[in-house]
Amino acid sequence: MATAFAQRERDRRRLDDLEIVTSGTDPAEAVHDGVVAWIVDVGFDLSDRTPRAVEEATLAGCDYVATVGCSTPTLFDRVDARDWALADPDDADPDRVREIGDTVEERVVASFDEIEADRP
């Protein structure tokens, strides 16, 4: 979810030089069915996406890191990292998936507001 919203914000704001890296510290085998179903209504198709693992070296090379419930505390002193501490949408009912997704979207937009404000 976060990646889809981040890619949309990057495109809307014409921040073409901004690279988005998406991965997880303990990725699921697939994007959760409830997320795939909900996010279609928001305008994204995640059915072909596969979660993948991230290396700490990759995270250390980022300017900003957002985690969604699996904080990476060793990076917090070297990277602008924020743990959003969101519930896992796996097996959540559709209303809960929507709530989580709405929160993700709000936080992505707010993060892009900050990123844009920090740019010259």
pTM score, whole prediction: 0.86
Residue 90 lies in a domain: yes
Residue 98 lies in a domain: yes
- If one counts the domains in the chain, the total is 1
Q: Are 119 and 103 in contact (CB under 8 A)?
A: no
| Cβ neighbours of residue 19 closer than 8 Å, sequence gap 6 or more | none
Domain that holds residue 92: 2-111
Instruction: Indicate which CATH number applies to the domain containing 81.
Output: 3.40.50.2300
pLDDT band at 73 (very low <50, low <70, confident <90, very high): low
Residue 48 lies in a domain: yes
Residue 118 lies in a domain: no
Residue 116 lies in a domain: no
Residue 44 lies in a domain: yes
Segment 12-68, tens digit of pLDDT: 999 999 999 888 777 788 888 899 999 999 999 998 988 888 887 888 888 888 888
Residue 58 lies in a domain: yes
Residue 117 lies in a domain: no
